Chain A
Amino acid sequence: MIRLRDVQKRYSLGEQSVLACAVDSLEIAAGEQVALIGRSGTGKTTLLHILAGILRPDRGEVEIVGARMDQLGEAARDRHRGRHIGMVYQTFNLLQPFTALENVLMGALFGRGAGGDARLRAEALLQQVGLADRLHHRPSELSVGQVQRVAICRALINDPELVLMDEPLGNQDKATGGQVLDLMLQIATDAGKTVVMVTHDPESAERMQRTVDLATLRGASGEAHSTEAAR
């Protein structure tokens, strides 16, 4: 499902080149639920963007859901992401002018297409997460928990093989966030989806099947070494 080899991403900061993310080796099997943990600044979000194909690494191999993202052009990576990867962000990233239903449908529009039964699927998903009566509400008219559930529906609308989550509990109280995360994991488990979550919160990480400390993945050139803590 996910295979990374000798991946490195650097940023230019003035004349300096800063190493943002380095992974010697990482493999995640289909159906696994993995938490990537690390302190702030360890490159969690950069890694997530590499997994999503939003960023292309400066070097290394990135294979995601059968596609070598490091070899694909930008448009192809976008298309692959739209069809095979669902994303849930810390800030939910719903588009404010659009209703809950439209936000979910937008995921379909840029993924497998918003025609056909996309609307029915979107309504069914929103109903599944308890938002049947909030289809036409805008994000500003929803609670934080409801907004996150809409974000989850949007991530699942294309029935993706992989769901990437970025600090999904970061912006809300833990009780509500925990419930929503449990819901997400339940849906993913039922559908056999692979879930990768980046977080700095050990409590969230505990809900996943496996935790990978980003610091342990940095082994290239003797700078770091890679370890995996299996649960």
Chain B
Amino acid sequence: MKLVSISLRNLRIRLVATVLTMMSIVVATALYAAILTMAEQTEARYEGSIGGYQAIAGPNGTSELELVLNTVFNVGEAPGLIPLEVCQKLRAGRGIGRRSQVRYAIPQARGDSISSYSFPVIATLDEMFSLFEWKRAPLVFAAGGPFTFSYAQLTEMAEQLAAYENALRAELPAEQRPARPQLQPAWRQCVIGARVARTLGLQLGDVVTPVHGKAGEFGSHEHPEASCEIVGVLAPTNSPIDSTIYLPLGIHLLIDGHEAGVFVSPQVQGKSPAQIEAMPTSAGRIALTAVIADPKDHMGPQILRREFGSHPEAQVAWPQDVVPKFLRQIGNAADALAVIAWLVLLVAAVSITVAIYNTMNERRREIAIMRSLGARRAQILTIITGEAALLSFFGALLGLVLCHGAAYALQDLVEDLTGVFLDWAQLRPWELWLLVGVTGIGALAGLAPAVKGSMTQVADNLAQNY
């Protein structure tokens, strides 16, 4: 038998009070751990997900943060459209020296999804798997390989679509219109991220059907004509790439019903939207949601900033700048929440003090008996402080378990809402410190009743016959 056995037994015989008091510790610890977990994993996720996203060209009139969140982290709807000519401009390098300032400029269009999990679909080029660098190297395939749809094919299709669209706008008879480009069977291929494959149980050769909008939401509809065979499964990146389906831009542009949104209307002063819609268009007006680019050298960012500083339709966002600012804001919010969690812990500590203090009167005889057996005041102090510490320890342990359980249960929801992947099974060093800290705070909370208990008058209380 040890002193700790007495502390444990005392907690057990007051089980209801123990559980109720412990609940506040559980909640406080779980809250604090959840805040730390979320802040830490958000930071890790966001910093780790920037990867090869050096520059993102997107529509004007939206915040850089929104653009980065949508393009890199799949958060929210695409904030708007930009014309293909932005991509052409980046690739052609019309800036200083008339050379391209970027190593690559890969167009993207999004708006569709797959399955009730709403895994986002990004229509892009095969360059996403050859030129795009995820952490200084191209994306790795766990199985299969990339689809084939090149920039040359895109520009050729854009020309054909523009010619067809202009014939429509000129209201030419059907026999005089050029043929609308047809969806090539070879394009009906896609590449899926690791989490998509894992969650939906998909593998090479399976077929996925894009849904316009978010699957399950009002107005969403399937596009069976754009069903694609999975030709590649990416290796895990622990980033939103894992939750993404990539398919050729050609499919996206030729999907039935997307005709109206294929071209971006220019802003022309003095003309109504209807008049603008009736104006001839061009291949450069093909609509994209973003272009991801990588400046060639240290001058690249400055040139791009200057070129896009006054661009009427597009802007360039820099994830390396935007994400740290965003994380600082999240950090501030996390700090504020952490203060609340500490306050909850403080209240919990007070509740421990009150709960144990209130038992001291009824325990005077029990303490006096132990003293009569030879227990020193310090041992009584240890037993009662031990009760508070044990109660806090188990409360903190349950709180951490609750935090991990909640992370497990909410993993998918949090990833869908925020793009943050909660690794519920990961144990972090601060959890040990939290456990020690909460136990220490609990022990301190038990000091006041412990001192009262240790001051119990032995002779007086032994004489009482309860």
Which residues in A have some Cβ–Cβ distance to B below 8 Å?
A: 45-46, 49, 52, 54-55, 74-75, 78-79, 81-83, 87, 89-91, 93-95, 97-98, 102, 105-111, 114, 118, 154
Contact = CB atoms under 8 A, between A and B. Distances in A.
Main secondary structure of the interface of A (DSSP, over half): helix
Contact of B375 (A82, A91, A154): A82
Given A54-B458, A54-B459, A79-B374, A93 B9 contact: no
A45 B377 CA distance: 22
Contacts of A94: 369
A110 B458 CA distance: 15
Complex A-B, nearest 4 residue pairs according to Cβ-Cβ distance, in ascending order: A82-B374, A110-B374, A105-B1, A110-B375
Main secondary structure of the interface of B (DSSP, over half): helix
A34 B2 CA distance: 34
A79 B376 contact: yes
B351 to A, nearest CB: 23
Contacts of B458: 49, 54
Contact of B373 (A55, A90, A111): A111
B401 interface: no
Nearest to B13: A97
Given A93-B372, A106-B1, A98 B377 contact: no
B10 interface: yes
A78 B371 contact: yes
A74 B377 contact: yes
A109 to B, nearest CB: 5
B369 A95 contact: yes
Contacts of B377: 74-75, 78
A154 B9 contact: no
A98 B13 CA distance: 10
B366 interface: yes
Contact of B459 (A55, A98, A110): A55
B379 interface: yes
B427 interface: no
Interface string B343-365: 00000000000000000000001
A109 B3 contact: yes
Interface of B: 1-3, 5-6, 9-10, 12-13, 365-366, 369-379, 458-459, 462-463, 465
Contacts of A109: 1-3, 373
A93 B1 contact: no
Nearest to A85: B374
B370 to A, nearest CB: 6
B153 to A, nearest CB: 81
A178 to B, nearest CB: 22
A78 B463 contact: no
Nearest to A112: B374
Given A49-B462, A83-B374, A102-B1, 14 more contacts: A45-B459, A54-B371, A54-B372, A89-B462, A95-B370, A97-B10, A97-B12, A102-B5, A107-B373, A109-B1, A110-B370, A110-B374, A111-B373, A111-B374
A106 B12 CA distance: 17
Given A75-B376, A82-B375, A114 B369 contact: no
A102 B159 CA distance: 91
A147 to B, nearest CB: 13
A87 B13 contact: no
16 contacts: A46-B459, A54-B462, A75-B377, A75-B378, A78-B374, A78-B377, A81-B373, A82-B374, A89-B462, A93-B462, A97-B10, A97-B12, A102-B5, A109-B1, A109-B2, A109-B3
Contacts of A110: 370, 373-375, 379
Given A79-B374, A105-B1, A109-B2, A93 B369 contact: yes
A45 B462 CA distance: 10
Nearest to B375: A110
A91 B366 CA distance: 12
A126 B459 CA distance: 28
Given A97-B10, A108-B1, A87 B378 contact: no
B235 to A, nearest CB: 56
A49 B365 CA distance: 15
A55 B371 CA distance: 12
Contacts of B2: 109, 114
B458 to A, nearest CB: 5
A214 B370 CA distance: 28
B1 A87 contact: no
A154 B373 contact: yes
Contacts of B5: 102
Contacts of B3: 109
